[in-house]
Amino acid sequence: MRVKKLTPVLDVDAIEPSLGFQKTIDVPAGDRLGFVGIDRDGVELMLQTCVSAAEDVRAVAGRARDPLRRQDRRMRTENRKLIDLVSVGPATVEDLRALGITSVGALVSEDPRDLYDRLCALRGQRLDPCCEDVFRAAVAQARDPKLPADQRRWWYWSRLRKGEDPRARQG
């Protein structure tokens, strides 16, 4: 395997505003950010809170209650909002609005790759490809409110894009 890009994920106690860095990905964890991708002049970092990482480990290991249980109830309703979708945080909502997408219903007919390409053009730069994975997770949830929990997470789609088994445990 040839590594083309390596982006470190740093465990942090809390995600604070990062001066000079542009947020490319954000994933909420409750009322705070649990994961964020940031970039400045081609230097890319990913930050994940220790609490969020511990929740991910427990969920993967199957020792915890489904962390998406509360979100599952909201996903069954017809009046879902963009922010209700798993893997969609405030920055992604803003990106979608910039692309003219203001509702979950509007996502149903969208192509995630097209959304990513349009956002890159709008921003005037090639964005982290994980943005496309977030769009894939969002569109899949818009099309199927009962989408399996693992497919709601953006990294499921990252693994598919990279040709990996999305259900394989990463260790």
d(CA 8, CA 47): 8
Report if residue 4 sits inside a domain: no
In a domain, 57, yes or no: yes
Domain presence at residue 39: yes
Provide the residue count of the chain.
Answer: 171
Q: Which domain holds residue 84?
A: 9-161
Q: What is the pLDDT of residue 19?
A: 66
Domain assignment of residue 128, yes or no:
yes
Residue 81 is assigned to a structural domain of this protein: yes
What does the pLDDT profile of the chain (171 residues) look like in tens digits? Answer: 676 777 777 777 777 766 678 888 888 777 778 888 888 888 888 888 877 777 766 655 654 444 454 454 444 445 789 999 999 999 999 999 999 999 999 999 999 999 999 999 999 999 999 999 999 999 999 999 999 999 999 999 999 988 887 776 554
Residue 168 covered by a domain: no
Whether residue 105 is contained in a domain is answered as yes
The predicted pLDDT at position 10 comes to 77
Distance spanning both ends of the chain, measured CA to CA: 17
Are residues 46 and 35 in contact, defined by beta-carbon separation less than 8 angstroms?
yes
Give me the number of domains the chain comprises.
1
What pLDDT is recorded for position 73? 45
Does 1 fall in a domain?
no
Percent of the chain that is helix, strand, coil (3-state, to 5): 45, 15, 40
- Give the sign of the dihedral formed by CA 109, CA 38, CA 57, CA 90: negative
Closest C-alpha to 22, from 98, 137, 131: 131
